Structure formats: structure tokens, C-alpha cells
Amino acid sequence: MQNRQQAAVILGWSGVIPFVVLVCCAWFGAPDWLFNLLRGYALLILAFMCGSLWDGALARPADPPLPMIISNVLVLAALPALLLPLAWALLLMAALFAIHGFAEWRWAHTLQAGWYRRLRFALSVSVVSLLVLASAIRLSSS
């Protein structure tokens, strides 16, 4: 159990590192391709995280499948981020991560250990904050 907890913490925060690095690069004047990389990475991570809603729904077969539907809607809602201007795409991704965090808390938190809920909350707040900061940087540079 302890090894899984350590792995979750290390992997979770390691997944935030690209957000931090890309936002730091953006702070010092990044080319468009770097912002595009951030947008793509955010979309991939959101799609990956949406699996937690499926996990929560499958663990409670008597409940309606709403978390699974929300999971799919979040990923589909992220697709326009590929076409939007970068600043707005990053804001959209921040909003979708926030919605996912709420949905995960709403439908999956009772199945998760306390340490994992705290970790997920901290990771979600970090990612949302970094995406909002990247959007602000992008808006101020254009």
C-alpha cells in the first residue's frame, strides 16, 4: 500500500512538471508552438483523468451512469480547444479541469482514500492555476 501511495504522489506531481515548465517558458516569452504543446498536453491529461469518473461509476453499478457520461462530455468539450485562439483554449482547459475536479469529488471521492483525495485536489488546483496563468501570459503578450 505504501508503495502505491508513494507512486501516486510521485507520478501525480510529475504530471504537473510539464505544466510548470511550459508556463515558466511562456513567462519568459515563448513561441506559439510551446503554447500549442501546453494545450495538447492539457487535453491529454484531462482525457486520462476522466477515467477516474468511469472508475467511480463502475464501482457502484446500482447508481446511474451519469459520471461516465460527464467524463465523455468533458473530453468532447475539450476538442474546441484545438481550434480556439491559444489564450482562450487554455482558459477552456482550466475550466474543464475544474469541472472534472468537482465531478470527481461528487462521484468518486467516497471510493478514494483521504490522502488520494487531498492529492487530487492539490493537483487539480495546481493545474487550473497554471493554465489560467498561461492564458493571462498569452493575453498580455498579444
Q: Which pLDDT score, from 0 to 100, does residue 1 have?
A: 56
Burial of 82 (0-12, 13-18, 19+ CB in 10 A): exposed
Contact 133, 85 (CB under 8 A): no
Backbone angles phi, psi at 18, to 5 degrees: -60, -35
CA dist., res. 51 & res. 100, Å (int): 10
When pLDDT is averaged across residues 61-89 and rounded to a whole number, the result is: 93
- What ranges in 1-142 are assigned the alpha helix state H? 2-27, 32-49, 51-59, 66-78, 86-108, 114-141
Amino acid at 17: I
pLDDT greater than 80 at residue 110: no
Q: Which pLDDT score, from 0 to 100, does residue 20 have?
A: 95
Q: Which pLDDT score, from 0 to 100, does residue 108 have?
A: 75
Q: Which pLDDT score, from 0 to 100, does residue 7 have?
A: 94
Backbone angles phi, psi at 58, to 5 degrees: -70, -25
pTM of the predicted model as reported, rounded to 2 decimal places:
0.91
C-beta neighbour count of 25 within 10 angstroms: 17
pLDDT greater than 60 at residue 12: yes
